[in-house]
Amino acid sequence: MFEPAGDGRTNLTFCYSEEAVENPDYRGEQSPKLSEPEAVALTQALAETIADAAQTYLDTIREYDPDADS
């Protein structure tokens, strides 16, 4: 999920549940799973590159362990 962080920066949050995407107050410690990792990228393009790399990582994990996302 991308959110403006000011000065052209973008906050990038990896949410584990739809509830966390829809409700920012649900993220972190209130989430029933692990807290959602966050990063601030200097540009939207960098945030998108980070998100693409994270998706590639998850796809690779799922290739070796199909139950990894459960």
Alpha helices in 1-70, H assignment, sequence order: 18-22, 44-64
53 in a structural domain: yes
Residues 6+ apart with CB under 8 A from 17: 26, 31, 32, 33
In this structure, is residue 69 part of a structural domain?
no
Model confidence at 66: pLDDT above 60: yes
Tokens 């990792």 sit on residue: 37
- pLDDT tier at 6, thresholds 50, 70, 90: confident
- The model's pLDDT over 22-61, given as tens digits with 9 standing for 90+, comes to 776 766 555 555 455 667 788 888 888 888 888 887 788 7
Residue 37 forms part of a structural domain: yes
For residue 49, is it within any domain? yes
Instruction: Supply the pLDDT for residue 20.
Output: 64
pLDDT of residue 16: 61
